[in-house]
Structure 1
């Protein structure tokens, strides 16, 4: 039996999440196991269960952090200086930028379907969409229909989905992203 690790090397939630994040980005969800994460951390897989009930809960902890980062980007523009229309376009552009600069993470957040994690990941996605919806409505000069906001979201998601894998990052699609964002913002400002 190996001696217990010193306190400075105790297994933490952050250590587990960091390793899980790396593995989920590099491999398919099904190829990652609690054992493979534990192996990389140099601990028993049972030690992981002290912090997380199962792989789905660990996956949720990873993507929840991604959604928090995306929400923070939106908040910065809503609360920042500038005209509402320019801020709205900035939010749309940051959404695309986030998606294209974090393609693997974006796929985990919005595109992966798995019965084991759908319930948990859908919760985080819904909270992100609510944040997006509130931000868009607060910057609009008219009362938008839910369907209009959803259409804007789907249009942005479609853009990221289309360019994901074809460009290495946002910079490679920057010009066309600007045009797309202007188009969406203009459509939202038209009378219903």
Structure 2
């Protein structure tokens, strides 16, 4: 092989593999999530995300059209993770009462364990992205409510009571996120809280 061929081969760009692209995309999502939680949506630019990753900002735009689409991707992925946890509980071979407890516990565990995910999903507020940020919580709440209604029947729960249950869980999670507690440290009180909520439901 002559020197010309070596130089030519050295400049051949290999196509990216789908797995590599997905890994890079997930890395961007994880770094951007941390920055959004730390500095707020307005306080973060695409260039800052790129600088944190030590890549050009063009590499970020390869995957995401703009900052809003990047945030939407984070929100969509995080709500998908929460929905998966609820689906796991619904597929368990246990009684309806036990499933209700497990749903409440799964929600608490997700929020406390994935605190940065939870903050992005529910706690970041910005007038520029209100429409975007409202969609995810609304859809997730509907899935949560549908699961609870399925287990105890719509005749048992009014929409107001369903909303109160959700707020009770949300408030619990938000409190312990601020305390920076691990789920294992609060598992006992989380169980008590889930059982208390169950006492408000007549099934």
TM-score band (shorter)? 0.7 to 0.9
Gaps of at least 5 residues in structure 2 are: 1-10
Q: How does 1:156-175 map to 2 (within 5 A)?
A: 156-175=169-188
* Bigger mean CA offset, 144-153 vs 15-24: 15-24
Q: How does 1:83-102 map to 2 (within 5 A)?
A: 83-102=95-114
Larger radius of gyration: 2
2:159 corresponds to 1:146: yes
In the alignment, what sits opposite 2:201? 188
Q: Is the partner of 2:42 in helix, strand or coil?
A: helix
How many pairs were matched up? 188
2:128 corresponds to 1:120: no
In the alignment, what sits opposite 1:7? 15
Shift of the 184–23 alpha-carbon distance from structure 1 to 2, 3 Å rule, reads: same
Rounded to whole Å, the distance in 1 between the matches of 2:54 and 2:101 is: 46
How many angstroms does 1:14 deviate by?
Answer: 3.8
Shift of the 37–78 alpha-carbon distance from structure 1 to 2, 3 Å rule, reads: same
Contact 2:112 2:177 in 1 (8 A): yes
**Among residues 72, 82, 100, which one is paired with 1:60 in the alignment?**
72
Contact 2:50 2:57 in 1 (8 A): yes
Rounded to whole Å, the distance in 1 between the matches of 2:40 and 2:182 is: 21
Contact 2:33 2:120 in 1 (8 A): no
Rounded to whole Å, the distance in 1 between the matches of 2:182 and 2:189 is: 13
How many angstroms does 1:99 deviate by?
Answer: 0.9
TM, length-normalised to structure 1: 0.86
Say what the alpha-carbon RMSD is for the aligned residues: 2.4
How many angstroms does 1:157 deviate by?
Answer: 0.4
Offset from partner CA, 1:84-126 (integer Å, 9 cap, x none): 0000110001111111111222111111101222211211111
Rounded to whole Å, the distance in 2 between the matches of 1:21 and 1:129 is: 21
Gaps of at least 5 residues in structure 1 are: none
TM, length-normalised to structure 2: 0.81
Rounded to whole Å, the distance in 2 between the matches of 1:16 and 1:184 is: 38
Shift of the 13–162 alpha-carbon distance from structure 1 to 2, 3 Å rule, reads: closer
Rounded to whole Å, the distance in 2 between the matches of 1:39 and 1:142 is: 51
Q: Is the partner of 1:32 in helix, strand or coil?
A: coil
